[in-house]
Amino acid sequence: MRTEPWIADLFLSKKDCVLSSASYLTSLKGEDATSSLLRTLFLLSAVAGSAIAELTFVATARQGDREIPSSELKFIRTTPRPRHPNLHGGPGQTETGTGELGKRDITAYGPSWCGASQQLAAPEQLSSVYGIFSVPNLKLRAGLSAPQNAAAWVGVDGDSCNRALLQVGVTTLINSNGQQITEAWWQWWPSAAYSIPSIPTAPGDWMAVNITMTSSTSASIKMSNTQRGYTMSINVMAGMALCRTNAAWIVEDYYDGAGGNNMAGFNDVWFEYTAATTVGGTKLGVDGGVFWNIQNSPGQLQCTAQKYDNSNFFVRSVM
């Protein structure tokens, strides 16, 4: 576990390098859909059979003290894919330990999430979610075909409320020769996901994510690679309405509706300084939350979430 503090102030305010969704989508016309391996590795998608209006966003970025010109910013829109339902299941839920205000942590099992989620009681709503996490550093699982993957992200909703989900993270892919490729991305499901080649990442890098809800359909996203000095701010509008009742810090097994790529093994993924703030000003960590473990269909554990304290926990691969 790292000990040096990273704080939200490392995020920089946006200035004048603004890119609209219309402008970059125009620039992507005719691009080879198979040119990026990770382009197919985004986690969530449109509801089957429904017409989803395209959201809009503007983005700015910096590398250290240098503003990145809008001409250098690039987003790659990914065709939405079916979402794997992460229902509370497996051997059931158990209460473990005593959390904040006497609440007990809940251990749950599902097919795609390892990590922690926090649920608000009505009528409270989330104002912001924050967390720092390490980019998954993968190792091949024996007996499973490559490529294999794992994704880490911070998000709003997707647990008890799953009509929409806003998430920001990094996916790592490992090929049969052990080569790893990473890519930062964000998504407001059920709209498409967007990869962010403008933010370089590598296994083991530390990423800081802050999501501030400005309404149920708009948000301000700030994402930083704290080791490489890159920061991006994205203002998103016209997303599917969120319930704003779940904060989530997750390592996910990618799913594409047809089985997806196999989940790789990985070094421990730490989530640090996790925090959620409600509209009423209440501050929450992971005490009293749901700690997710991935269990595959034969009943084998693939990863577990283990709490360190109210602000820090790690996800451990089970090989």
Interval 300-311: pLDDT, tens: 899 999 999 999
How many helices (H) and strands (E) in the chain? Answer: 1, 24
CA atoms within 13 A on the CB side of 309: 4
Confidence of residue 297 (pLDDT cuts 50, 70, 90): confident
Determine how many CB atoms are found less than 10 A away from the CB of residue 313.
Answer: 24
Distance of CA 151 to the CA centre of its chain: 7
Residue-wise pLDDT for 172-231, tens only, equals 999 999 999 999 999 999 998 999 999 999 999 999 999 999 999 999 999 999 999 999
Give the C-alpha separation, 139 to 267, whole Å: 8
Secondary structure letter of residue 71 according to DSSP: G
- Taking 60 as the threshold, does the pLDDT of residue 33 lie above it? no
Residue 260 predicted with pLDDT over 90: no
Token pair for 316: 């451990």
Helix (H, G, I), strand (E, B) or coil at 62: strand
In 3D, which of 309, 232, 231 has the Cα closest to residue 271?
Answer: 309
pLDDT of residue 296: 81
% pLDDT > 70, the chain: 74
Q: Output the six-digit token pair for 293.
A: 């473990």
Q: How many CB atoms lie within 10 A of CB 92?
A: 9
Residue 248 near residue 156, CB atoms below 8 Å? yes
**Residue pLDDT, tens place only, 63-78:** 999 999 999 999 999 8
